[in-house]
Amino acid sequence: MNDHLGTKHRDNGAMSLAIVVVTYNSAEVLSGLLDSILPVIGEASSTAVLVVDNDSNDGSAEIAEAHAVGAKVIRTGRNGGYAAAINAAAATLPPQTAILVLNPDIRLVPLSLEHMIDCAASNNDIGVVVPRMLDPDGTIAMSLRREPSLVGMWAQALLGPRTAAHLGLGEMIAHPEAYRHRREVDWATGAALLITPEARARAGAWDESFFLYSEEVDYQRRVRASGLKILYEPSASVTHIAGAYMQSPMLAALMTRNQIRYFRRHHGWLETALFRCAIMVFGALRAWKSQAHRAVLRACLGPVGS
């Protein structure tokens, strides 16, 4: 393994792992994920599968309970959001257990689990391992990110996210070379994250005030602040089926508010105002395209919460 970070291995034996899947009306995609987990759970010496259901009404919990993967189903009785569901699962697990968080629309590729575990165990300063993410057609999804910044947001607003990414200015990392080799990143999309026991101990619980979106940005920032690394491992691959938030005005508005809330926590009022203005420009320039873009603009003009 081409580990440029060194060869210091953990001395605590085989890593205990729990796969945590958060569901909310996920019946359409959940069986496919559990099917993909079934043949690979033997790659880890001790692997549990937990499905945390956020009060679905489409039979998601029942699908998980009936599946041959033998998942433990945690029914939260409410839709408390992604972070709250992860915390509910983590509260049931010993602190020495690593957690692989998966969206229900993820599909594991054979040996992906083994490669993520090997990467996580290769050095004591690794906090989170993220796999290579593929679109359904097999192309690489641009899942790696830079820390949100004023330059990045204004580049996305004026040039568009894809153009800004290809110029190396936006939040999204788009250069193909970045996806070929193991590397440190600021953060990666939260659809598939392996969290080491060290990260659990140092970063603590996920922030439940982020109902959806920006919770993974916040968590991975706290992992980095604790002295641990976020590591991309290209030998581990997963397929991601969905992810079209800009088709939903409600989700687009929620993402916008949480982007502003997250940025405000780490920057002064002037920088935050300029950041918010950049998102406003993004929405205004594209308001003719869809209701979702108009929802972005309205979210910028209204309160975003604390």
Domain boundary among 205, 223, 242: 242
What's the pTM? 0.91
Per the model's pLDDT, the better-predicted residue between 298 and 2 turns out to be: 298
Report yes or no on 177 lying in a domain.
Answer: no
What average pLDDT does the chain have? 91
Q: Where are the beta strands (DSSP E) in the chain?
A: 16-23, 46-53, 72-75, 98-102, 106-108, 126-134, 144-145, 183-184, 187-188, 192-195, 229-240
pLDDT tens digits for 246-298? 578 999 999 999 999 999 999 999 999 999 999 999 999 999 999 999 999 99
pLDDT at 91 over 90: yes
- pLDDT at position 51 is 98
Report yes or no on 286 lying in a domain.
Answer: yes
Report yes or no on 252 lying in a domain.
Answer: yes
Residues 280 and 215 in one domain: no
Residues 75 and 40 in one domain: yes
Domain boundary among 193, 222, 242: 242
Domain boundary among 242, 273, 289: 242
How many structural domains is the chain composed of?
A: 2
Residues 192 and 292 in one domain: no
Contacts of 171 (CB under 8 A, 6+ apart): 145, 146, 147, 148, 149, 152, 153, 156, 161, 165
Residues 125 and 69 in one domain: yes
Cβ-in-10-Å burial (0-12, 13-18, 19+) of 124 comes to middle
Residue-number span of the structural domain to which 292 is assigned? 246-301
pLDDT tens digits for 137-156? 999 999 999 999 999 999 99
Pairing, β 187-188 against β 144-145: antiparallel
Please tell me the distance from the alpha carbon of residue 190 to that of residue 306, in angstroms, as a whole number.
Answer: 22
Structural tokens at position 162: 């894809």
Residues 34 and 72 in one domain: yes
How many C-beta neighbours within 10 Å does residue 42 have?
10
- pLDDT at position 11 is 44
- pLDDT at position 4 is 35
Residues 118 and 230 in one domain: yes
Residues 250 and 133 in one domain: no
